[in-house]
Amino acid sequence: MAGRSLVRRYRSELRAAEARLAAVDRSLISTTFADVEYAELGAGEPLLYSHGIFGSCENALLFRDQFPGRRLIAPSRFGYLGSGLPPHATPADQADAFAEMLDALKIAQIDVVGVSAGTTSALQLALRHPERVKHLVVLSGNLPGTPTAVVQPSWARLVNRQVPVWLIKTFLPSTMASLSGVPRRFAMTSDDAQLVAAFIDSMFPMTPRIEGIDFDAFVSNADVNNYKLEDIRVPTMVVHAKDDPLISYDSAERAAGRIPRARLVSLEAGGHLLLGQTDAIRKELASFLAPTAAG
């Protein structure tokens, strides 16, 4: 009986996740690499949001309060949801696909935000298409030399799947929070707890993201170690919490030192999800992106 109850719970929660995702208004653009799915939200100056691992275009909706007054353009990266994964894909290919997407949307220049694993393709967009990037913002970024910037062991393919992750979420919630980047003994407010729960829920349904998850884990994340950050010529801001348990703060500090004239915003706490830092991030972004808003 307990087993049947567990299966019913799993199916019920999966249906709820599918319904939530179906409610997100998404569109497709064909590129020479693959179809790119994206969502849009808001109005104002456009901003491209490159999501992290286990994510999708939906993630920008969770963190939209960081970007008030902006037209968020949030693609699902290669292999996530409706975005295809071309053979032998690289983050450079993803950046080129982003550029083609911007062409289709008739956007000549845009501010770019790379989050966690989405940083690799955001960096490549700045390196390969600097004329398209007004400003580059890296939030809790996967950067050279950090523990995430490696090819994951083969057994990760067994763990990074829908049923195992759902079981961790259901029976080991504190472990799931830690895997999502919440520091141990972090004192979450009710708003923090709500955001963490919504972030974890946003990983599901996971099955239509498997190709993208594997692309990040076995190709994209480690690729960042080869980037010549010194060649980035667009205005760049790196935002990182010192207590991030997933991506080392030292890697952010080193990367900011390598990118010419980069601005490093050090946050004392907040973990990988930058919990409790929305106001601080909004203030930093408003200052950093002010020339765009004024122009």
Q: Which domain holds residue 32?
A: 2-290
Residue 215 covered by a domain: yes
Exposed/middle/buried for residue 29 (C-beta within 10 Å: 0-12, 13-18, 19+): middle
CATH at residue 276: 3.40.50.1820
Q: How far apart are CA 23 and CA 42, in angstroms?
A: 16
Q: Within 10 Å of residue 136's Cβ, how many Cβ atoms?
A: 26
Report the percentage of the chain scoring pLDDT > 70: 98
Residue 54 lies in a domain: yes
Band of the pLDDT at 291, cuts 50, 70, 90? Answer: low
Whether residue 183 contacts residue 273, with contact meaning beta carbons closer than 8 Å, is answered with no
Domain assignment present for residue 262? The answer is: yes
Distance CA 143, CA 114 (A): 11
- A 10 A CB-CB count for 83 gives 29
pLDDT (tens digit per residue) in 75-134: 999 999 999 999 999 999 999 999 999 999 999 999 999 999 999 999 999 999 999 999
The reply to whether 204 falls in a domain is: yes
Q: Domain count of the chain? A: 1
Grade residue 290 by pLDDT with cuts at 50, 70 and 90. Answer: confident
**Confidence grade of residue 43 (pLDDT, cut at 50, 70, 90):** very high
DSSP 203: T
The answer as to whether 295 is a domain residue is: no
In a domain, 209, yes or no: yes
